[in-house]
């Protein structure tokens, strides 16, 4: 016998201004019908998975604890319905979900209610969890690494005999810190960082771009001024070109970031050369004797 079910998805909204969210839980409810008892099933994320890539400042321990608490409380609601299941014929997934987590302005929000008909509640629940929560949990690996994107930069710098000592630098802000691998100081810190977007799918490309955006945004105010220059490796799969273009726009959002594509590699090295030679000229001028007339 087919029976109607409703469901709602729990969303984690990291930044209310941008509205970016990740699905982190699911509640499904089927009311009692024709002798079949009511059923409430719920599940939440057990790990932060891909969320760390998108929101690097996410407090893992606090998030996991919150998820466990919500699932435990939903389990109690499910137990109550199991005892009264034959007489529970009203309500939907959202009404029971809000018993545990009422609607407010927090970062955890319930989605609009979805519904369907099925003869197999358990299978539908598993399918919905896979679709909404765990679909993109498989780790995406780069076809080309960040280091492979950096290699031609290093070669061009060597060919031009540029005396610049690029070193790791930790930029500390009021709310976070980031360690960059290639930086030098000339007044402000100049940072040059490779970003490989040669990934397997559009979701992975977007996640990596948002990870960098999240890291830069999470810094807040910094005591040391800096400008970041990203040299970005494109995906080898031409079907991922639209996702790549979106990622370039995401990476370029911060005001102190300049994005260079691989095809513009020489342009970035030209900039490094100009900055290094100007710095060398200024240093030499400091030690020249004054001109006598």
Q: What is the C-alpha separation between 150 and 155, in angstroms, rounded?
A: 9
| Rg of the chain taking only CA atoms, in angstroms | 26
3-class SS of residue 107? coil
Find out whether 89 and 38 touch, Cβ atoms under 8 Å.
yes
Q: DSSP labels for 52-78?
A: HHH-TT--HHHHHHHHHHHHHHHHHHH
Locate tokens 């979106």: which residue? 246
Q: What is the C-alpha separation between 13 and 19, in angstroms, rounded?
A: 6
Find out whether 124 and 118 touch, Cβ atoms under 8 Å.
yes
Residue among 199, 206, 169 at smallest CA distance from 186: 169
Locate tokens 């960098």: which residue? 212
C-alpha angle 24/17/57, rounded to 5°? 55
Statement: the pTM of the whole predicted model exceeds 0.75 = no
**What does each C-alpha distance from 90 to 32, 81, 86 come to in angstroms?**
8, 12, 11
- Please report, in tens digits, the pLDDT of each residue of the chain (293 residues total): 788 999 999 999 887 776 778 899 999 999 888 777 889 999 998 877 667 767 777 888 888 899 999 999 999 999 888 887 666 667 899 999 999 999 888 899 999 999 999 989 999 999 999 888 887 665 555 578 899 999 998 888 888 887 677 899 999 988 888 999 999 888 889 999 999 999 888 888 988 999 899 888 888 888 889 999 999 999 998 899 999 999 999 999 998 899 999 988 888 888 888 877 776 555 555 544 554 54
Dihedral (CA of 277, 278, 279, 280) sign = positive
- E strand intervals along 219-279: 226-233, 257-261
C-alpha angle 65/71/77, rounded to 5°? 140
**What does each C-alpha distance from 177 to 129, 172, 215, 221 come to in angstroms?**
34, 4, 8, 10
């Amino acid at each position: 016998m087919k029976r109607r079910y409703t469901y709602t998805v729990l969303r984690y909204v990291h930044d209310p201004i941008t509205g970016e969210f990740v699905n982190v839980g699911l509640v499904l409810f089927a009311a009692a019908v024709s002798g079949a008892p009511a059923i409430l099933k719920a599940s939440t994320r057990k790990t932060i998975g891909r969320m760390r890539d998108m929101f690097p400042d996410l407090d893992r321990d606090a998030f996991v604890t919150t998820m466990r608490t919500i699932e435990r409380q939903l389990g109690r609601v499910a137990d109550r319905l199991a005892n009264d299941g034959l007489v529970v014929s009203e309500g939907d997934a959202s009404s029971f979900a809000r018993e545990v987590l009422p609607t407010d302005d927090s970062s955890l929000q319930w989605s609009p209610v979805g519904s369907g008909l099925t003869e197999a509640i358990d299978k539908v629940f598993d399918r919905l969890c896979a679709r909404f929560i765990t679909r993109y949990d498989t780790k995406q690996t780069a076809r080309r690494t960040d280091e492979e994107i950096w290699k031609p930069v290093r070669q061009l710098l060597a060919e031009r005999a540029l005396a610049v000592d690029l070193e790791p630098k930790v930029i500390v802000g009021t709310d976070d810190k980031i360690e960059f691998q290639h930086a030098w100081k000339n007044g402000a810190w100049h940072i040059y960082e490779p970003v490989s977007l040669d990934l397997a799918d559009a979701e992975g490309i977007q996640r990596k771009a948002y990870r960098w955006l999240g890291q830069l945004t999470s810094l807040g105010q910094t005591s040391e001024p800096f400008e970041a220059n990203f040299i970005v490796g494109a995906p080898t799969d031409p079907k991922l070109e639209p996702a790549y273009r979106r990622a370039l726009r995401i990476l370029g959002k911060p005001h102190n970031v300049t994005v260079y594509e691989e095809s513009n590699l020489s342009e970035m090295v030209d900039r490094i050369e100009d900055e290094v030679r100007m710095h060398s000229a200024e240093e030499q001028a400091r030690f020249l004797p004054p001109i006598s007339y």
